[in-house]
Structure 1
Amino acid sequence: MNTRQDGDEFIQSGRRVIEIETAATHALLARIDKNFQNACEILMQCKGRVIITGMGKSGHIGNKIAATLASTGTPSFFVHPGEASHGDLGMITGEDVVIAISNSGKTEEIVNIVPLIKRKGAPLISMAGDNQSPLATQADVHLDISVKEEACPLGLAPTASTTATLVMGDAIAVALLEARGFTADDFALSHPGGSLGRRLLLLVENIMHSGDKIPLVAKAVTISDALLEMSSKGLGMTGIVDHNNKLIGVFTDGDLRRMLDQGLNTKTTSIEKVMTANPKTISPHILAVEALNMMDKSKITALMVVDKSGTPIGALNMHDLLRAGVM
């Protein structure tokens, strides 16, 4: 094995790969045609599951396509074609749709199970790089994923071809997602774990401070009393309520800094005179990520949570969102 000493060649090689794979992806635009439409229509009408199959690198890409379909509203799973010949073909029913992936269109393990798939009555969509291959010609719909060249200079390692296949799979998944009217809420139901699930499912009421932990004072109390409330609750603010317990204002650390510049007597001045009236508030049933967006947009670090009548029922700040994994 010969090694190269010029470090610039690494950069040149990397750029060449990206240029080749970009060209391969761009070539797919002309193939989003009637065949693509027919494939999507078959998938939309599927009453069962979408089964993806493929060998080697095509199998790895197929696994990802199946995962993307499943997470965007199209129930799907991957079946290894070798295992299919030894029992796993029983996973496929006539109500399913099969997407078979093979760059050559001649992969033996896939071609061997095509007649059995057809016998079950499951529609077959092929993704292959040879339009005249056995897989392409036997499929109900064929999607052309051929590439001019692989990024591998030896022309051996699947590179541009696997990228093109993945992009075609993504195009199908997103087209189906939009056709089904799949929403962020639908997406959240299949992604409950991790930061993504928290951002999509967590509500303000799930993380807000409530009950005795809400920083609140009456409008007639002094600034000193309000500061004691802020200090004891530790949210960097306090809400101010009227005699009907309706929120009329907030006082924050920022308000305190501005007040100190005015030289006011904190023991005799009422909090009502220095509070921020008509403050930003949020409903407990709003997504926590929307609370974050509101804080960012308004350049504030805390929010009071109120019910429909304007009564404070909770409070939260940026630290709460950070601890909850929303940020």
Structure 2
Amino acid sequence: MSADFWAGYLSGAAGILIGNPLDLLKTRHQADTIPAATATTSPQTLAGQFDRAGTLVKGATAPILGYGALNAILFMTYNRTLVLLGDEPSVPASLLKVWSAGALGGLATFVVSAPTELVKCRAQVSQSSASSWSIARDVWKHEGVKGLYHGGVITSIRDAVGYGFYFWSYELCKQAWASSEDSDRETATKIMLCGGLAGIVTWTSIFPLDVIKTRVQTASLERLPEEASLLRDSQAALRAEDGRRVGALEVARRAYHNEGIGVFFRGLGICNVRAFIVNAVQWTVYEWMMQAIRGRGVKGLRLDS
């Protein structure tokens, strides 16, 4: 395996483990399993969402195992697309090309991200002890491959837009702040700041899409016996009259009609705190791992392998 594959895999795993408690809160806010009247960030409310130690890593198995493949697809597509567009991945001259290459890379991750997100979100909103494996097994048993890719269209759109802004904002920060005169400590600090800000820009740009995606993937679980009563009635009722699951546009329409425009930004504060921490950690670990595997310094805040 290439150096960037393992660096990406391990940095992603570290970021997921650190950020999973806040990601769990974000998902429950979006899926509306936390009542609006108590959906605050008070210590009591936060503590109440983590009723046992295992909750801290709930839903983390799927993204940890899937992130290596996702990251390999993402970076491979990003780098090759930049080359095809006539730019150099290590020092791209065009931020528009960076955004386009990132968007195509994000779109390419659909194969991994759609089923991973579905299993993760369902595990996170579950009030039972169901594991990621049991949820994935039940989806496969009752709905097959198609079930694992439920909500795949909105997931692919979210990823394309999000990763476009992810690489764009990281490269923008890198070009603005990187200097050959920086010490190792200054370089590491800038890596963390660039990664953290890129995470905030990314999630802010796609948060309404992520809310819709979460609701599409966590609604209508009555086909899965183990998960039948995990969501509030308002979510379980998201089904057309003929029994079909409703799509992203209908989910968005009903959410706006019932809860107003604010529903598409519910949990954004938690998400941005998580985004800064996770992406600061991911980029720092990524650069350290690249240095360890390939003997390369971390100066320059380079994205390429």
Q: Shorter-chain TM-score: what band?
A: under 0.3
Please give the TM-score of this superposition, normalised by the length of structure 2.
0.25
Q: More strand by proportion, 1 or 2?
A: 1
Q: More helix by proportion, 1 or 2?
A: 2
